[in-house]
A and B are shown apart, each in its own frame.
Chain A
């Protein structure tokens, strides 16, 4: 009798557990139903520094207050956003409504976002307000010339130097050459083989009168020879420096100067180094004047976005002049709209003086199908010259041959295609 009762209880417990299991499975399946599983909130993935999160969320909060559309902010690195977008595209549905990408990643993710031409009403006005270089980066490379991305914030490189140990920063190539001779291992280069390496070199190539797609030009040789000449001044750690690590070397006074993006400014300010012991200055000018490289965050709406209409409203809000002014004031983000610069805050002028001085010398990397492959070829040539002691002429010769192998289509710029 006792045994019978026990087995009855056991059966009941088993049934109950089975019920719980079925309920849980049902719940899990329900939460994976894909589109429409949330409550109408727009999800935006942006590359933010931890210090920028609160201010950016506040600005998004104002959008929610004025439109009634909730916004979920996902702060991630560009590479992670790309991976998430690829996964969503493969799955055929997703959560992300608005994504931000660095300018050099745009061709790589162009097929994963939808054209904005018919969706975004303020597109024409924005186009008028943005420079051609900044605008064209977001336009599709094929003949349709559809707008896939709109500029959210612009970046360009400037020099960051130790103002305590270097009273006058180098203003010309000759000054930089002298510094390299007199102060060995004092210049930091982002020398790890990645996009940052070419971002340090391309301004010098342009300053010599060269072009990225023409490695056979005498100007390309001049620029590479100059880099070879300043080798003694380059810090040996440069071979593995990236944006963050070169900045750490600057903070620890292991180098006198390096070239970096404006993201460095709030980090240096938070450590009490800016303005004061560390300052920014324009890049040293070359024989053909001054130039720097365009970077920046661009916004797009994924093809799998569950709320494209609301996403476009958020895009319109973020690219409006009022918001751009606020982003400049509160986060120090350089606005794509020329009119949003307005009257500059004295603090910003002092801290970002070097960057602001280069505002009109910004140049974009070429908009070509195989830019990533061309960049890798330049990275290899630069690494050979800087860290392996290869002759610049030999390195450029190899680079030219490899670039020829990519074929003429790879070297056709967007302008040539549209013609």
Chain B
């Protein structure tokens, strides 16, 4: 009966399927075309001179700029550290949350607030908090005395890099936290119970049973975050300015807007695009490989 039902509806189902493919193909084609045009125009601007002749002068000029070199360096340091921190804190928070019994909704809301705020509002609030005469230094001076303040946002300093990583990670950790928490809540309680009956400690249950079971979800969350983290823009720009803590996107923005250098900006933007495409491919490949192996 069931088979007959399906067989009867198959042609219609297949027709709908074909139509949905066609419907999806058109916007995909349009979006891809626009992207190709944008990439093409950036490539043209980056590799031609004022007379339209082919040149690598813009590329060599950008590569010789210390701002660009620093941008590449920070574009690796910040995302890698930030994603690692998010994974650690997000998973930790999710496990802690599983043990919370009272006011669960309140804690969940508090945890999600940084992610729910508009990015610019969040970053400006953080700037007020961390600036030289900001709330945090006032609190520290008020609590511990003295007159020396910590220069959280001093351009070029390691403290600034740490502060930006912390602020960026804090904003998006709820994303990892929520996904991991959802995965944890879906796990049958019987697995952990069985392990506990066999004498496993809470740590062992977490390490040997729960963590391996949520790894696919954690992998997806971290893959998405890694791709997003390499596009970092607003946090270093608002908190430190372009020269204070350059990353590739802010360096491209600086060339384009402050220096009116379309060619230089295009070179950096193209490199960032290539960087992102390679990174995305690597993440997808390693995630697929890991799934096949596991």
Contact = CB atoms under 8 A, between A and B. Distances in A.
Contacts of B279: none
A192 B242 contact: yes
A193 interface: yes
Nearest to B151: A236
Interface string B252-276: 0010011110000000000000000
A254 B254 contact: no
Given A108-B260, A237-B155, A239-B156, A193 B243 contact: yes
- Describe B's contact surface by its main secondary structure: loop
Given A239-B241, A240-B244, A242-B241, A193 B155 contact: no
B260 A240 contact: no
A94 interface: no
Contact of B243 (A79, A108, A192, A252): A192
Nearest to A245: B241
Contacts of B132: 237, 249, 252, 254
Contacts of A79: 257
A376 B65 CA distance: 13
A372 interface: yes
Nearest to B245: A240
Contact of A192 (B133, B153, B241, B260): B241
B231 interface: no
A194 interface: yes
A21 to B, nearest CB: 14
B237 to A, nearest CB: 9
Given A237-B155, A239-B155, A376 B259 contact: yes
B155 A240 contact: yes
B153 A193 contact: no
B13 to A, nearest CB: 19
Interface in B187-223: none
Contacts of B134: 252
Contacts of A195: 258
A109 to B, nearest CB: 11
Contacts of A254: 131-133
A244 to B, nearest CB: 11
A193 B258 contact: yes
Interface in A148-195: 191-195
A139 B73 CA distance: 45
A372 B242 contact: no
Nearest to A238: B155
Contacts of A194: 258-259
Interface in A222-273: 236-237, 239-242, 245, 249, 252-254
B133 to A, nearest CB: 5
B182 to A, nearest CB: 39
Given A192-B258, A193-B258, A194-B259, A240 B242 contact: yes
Contact of B153 (A237, A242, A253): A237
A170 to B, nearest CB: 22
Given A192-B241, A254-B131, A237 B154 contact: yes
Interface in A118-173: none
B66 to A, nearest CB: 8
Interface string B152-185: 0111100000000000000000000000000000
Interface in A315-354: none
B240 interface: yes
Contacts of B156: 236, 239
A284 to B, nearest CB: 25
Residue in A79, A239, A240, A245 whose Cβ sees the most chain B Cβ within 10 Å: A240
Nearest to B66: A388
B238 to A, nearest CB: 10
Interface string B118-151: 0000000000000111100000000000000001
A413 B204 CA distance: 78
Contacts of A239: 155-156, 241, 243-244
Contacts of A376: 259
Contacts of B154: 236-237
Taking each of A79, A237, A252, A383, which has the highest tally of chain B beta carbons within 10 Å of its own beta carbon?
Answer: A237
A298 B196 CA distance: 77
Contacts of B244: 237, 239-240
A195 B244 CA distance: 17
B217 to A, nearest CB: 39
30 contacts: A79-B257, A191-B243, A192-B258, A193-B67, A193-B242, A193-B258, A193-B259, A194-B258, A195-B258, A236-B151, A236-B154, A236-B156, A237-B153, A237-B154, A239-B241, A240-B155, A240-B240, A240-B242, A240-B243, A240-B244, A241-B241, A249-B132, A252-B131, A253-B133, A254-B131, A254-B132, A372-B260, A376-B259, A383-B243, A387-B243
Q: Which 3 A-B pairs have the closest CB atoms?
A: A240-B241, A194-B258, A240-B244
Given A79-B257, A193-B258, A240-B243, 10 more contacts: A192-B241, A192-B243, A193-B259, A236-B151, A236-B154, A237-B154, A239-B156, A245-B241, A252-B131, A254-B131
